[in-house]
Copies of this chain bind each other. A is one copy, B any other.
Amino acid sequence: MRDVAIVGVGLTKFGERWSSGLKELMAEAGIMALEDAKITSNDVEMLYGGTMAPGRFTGQEHVAALMADQLGFKNIPAVRIENACASGGSALRQGYIAVASGIHDVVVVGGVEKMTDVTSSEASTALGGAGDQEWELFQGITFPGLYALIANRHMHDYGTTEEMLASVAVKNHDNAVKNQFAQFRKKITIDEVLNSKIVSDPLKLLDCSPISDGAAAVVLVPLEKARKFNDTPIKIVASAQATDTLRLAERDSITELKATKIAAAKAYEQAKVQPKDINVVEVHDCFTIAEILAMEDLGFYQKGKAGKAILDGETALNSKLSVNTSGGLKGCGHPVGATGVKQAVEIVWQLRGDAKDRQVNGANVGMTHNVGGSGSTAVVHIYKRAD
């Protein structure tokens, strides 16, 4: 197995991109990534495309082949990866395997979702497919409901408060203000979160990540060849993935995501680092409670302790651990298939020192954490500058 590096990244602005379809979004992020790696379409040997529900959002399946076509990657193998909201992270892991194995030298991993062409109700139903359709969604629960169950239990067991939940959204909006690609470049306050409409108690509107359009792309090559493409290649030092039951009701505990814990343990072992070594991390904050779980399940805080730490500012930009500097899913937006790839783009910028106003000082080791469903899939990657 070879070491793998990221030598090109591309991203679209996330948001309600009325004037851009699936194709335009893919092209925008893809071309930016190729230019960043100083390569052309002809150099690319394989494409992985992560996207969750393009069939239901736009009528289009077979999206990786379309992405290859759209980007002029003539006749190369292209594979769509779908693992609900972890589609992007899962695609990145498959790209990593393809390069690490020696099968391909230049692999593009793209992530995309075009969600705003359907009604909110249709989007909610489509996203519901990430859970168990027959045993959860058909019975009437949606994703805010599933995460509200988790939040209520976490509050009951550990004294987590609505203010702590709200502080996640406030911090992530603070970061999003500094990110030109973010959907919500607007500060919010804890009071605004607490006073926003209840979606599923205790989660309010501002505890929830939005419906978004967007795309992201990265270019992967073997580390040994990386400096031909880029002066600051970023090495992927760990790639790990795990699953748990699709149904929340079948878990031993609903205040932790076992898939996250297992994937994180594998990733720390592969990278030979510990939580304390991580300087910057993008975690999957689809709902504010999800960031609290992530902080605990990734080993940054003991179970039940993350909420207060976030409220106290310990995970703000350039504090103890900089979390979701992109704005996270809450502030930057959550075009589901793009999210896992966007997380990698943000970490690459941070480790290169290119994150501008939101640069983490001394960022040497980064992590991404992408979740599908209510925790049925978790993908964790760890990155370092290739010095």
A binding-site residues for B, Cβ under 8 Å: 1, 21, 23, 52-56, 58-66, 68-69, 73, 75-84, 90, 93-94, 97-98, 100-103, 125-126, 128-134, 137-138, 241-247, 258-259, 262, 372-373, 376-377
Which of B77, B84, B241 has a CB less than 8 Å from the CB of A242?
B77
What's the nearest-Cβ distance from chain B to residue A4, in Å?
12
Which of B54, B59, B65, B134 has a CB less than 8 Å from the CB of A138?
B59
A78 CA to B376 CA in the complex, in Å? 10
Residue among A65, A78, A376 facing the most chain B CB atoms (10 A cut-off)? A65
**Cβ B55 vs Cβ A246 within 8 A:** no
5 A-B pairs (CB sep. < 8 Å): A55-B56, A62-B130, A62-B131, A79-B81, A101-B101
Q: Which residues of chain B come closer than 8 Å to A80, judged between CB atoms? A: 81-83
Q: Which residues of chain B come closer than 8 Å to A244, judged between CB atoms? A: 69, 75
* Identical chains bound together, number: 2
**Cβ A134 vs Cβ B97 within 8 A:** no
What's the nearest-Cβ distance from chain B to residue A256, in Å?
13
Q: Which residues of chain B come closer than 8 Å to A245, judged between CB atoms? A: 69
**Cβ B77 vs Cβ A241 within 8 A:** yes
A374 CA to B321 CA in the complex, in Å? 50
Q: Which residues of chain B come closer than 8 Å to A93, judged between CB atoms? A: 77, 79
Q: Which residues of chain B come closer than 8 Å to A54, judged between CB atoms? A: 129
The chain B residue sitting closest to A130, CB to CB, is B62
